[in-house]
Amino acid sequence: MNLDDSERRLVSQLGAVARMSERALLDRFAQAGYPELRRRHAALFQALADGGVRAKDLAVRLGMTPQAIAQLIDDLEGSGDVTRMPDRTDGRARLVVLTERGRRALHVCDTILDDMAREAAESIGRRRLREMQEVLDDLAAHFGPRR
């Protein structure tokens, strides 16, 4: 199949949009008083929104290695956003839970992400945004980990 120039630019365009949206996200975190937050922090906060989760389950859910999730948890524990607590169902296991500071950060993350999604919908229209989300889901399934 022969591709035209616009089709060949797909990967670089996806990367450019990802970098621009990441920069906007980080700028908004900083403006909200959380300059240390990164996208991966927001993802971890959202994964903990409903309660404590074991580190190994967080790693699977977020697509991270056990070493990377341990480092992220250590960083967030050091900043007072999460803590580790014994798992009542398994005395050997520990759950990662949001602290009060972490719950405030989760609220800030959710608000910012909602605002950005709303702005995207206003910019291109809700129908096109939903179509784009479907296309991105399809591409993620295609390029994502093979099972």
pLDDT, mean of each 10-residue run, the chain (147 residues) = 76 90 93 90 94 95 94 94 92 93 94 94 96 92 73
Count of C-beta atoms within a 10 Å radius of residue 39? 15
- The DSSP letter of residue 140 is H
Q: Tell me, yes or no, whether 52 lies in a domain.
A: yes
CB-based contact 36:26 (threshold 8 Å): no
CATH number at residue 63: 1.10.10.10
Residue 97 CB: number of other CB atoms within 10 A?
15
- Angstrom distance (rounded) from CA 84 to CA 118: 34
pTM, two decimals, is: 0.80
Q: How many domains does the chain have?
A: 1
Asked if residue 94 is part of any domain, the answer here is yes
Round to whole Å and give the CA distance between 69 and 41: 10
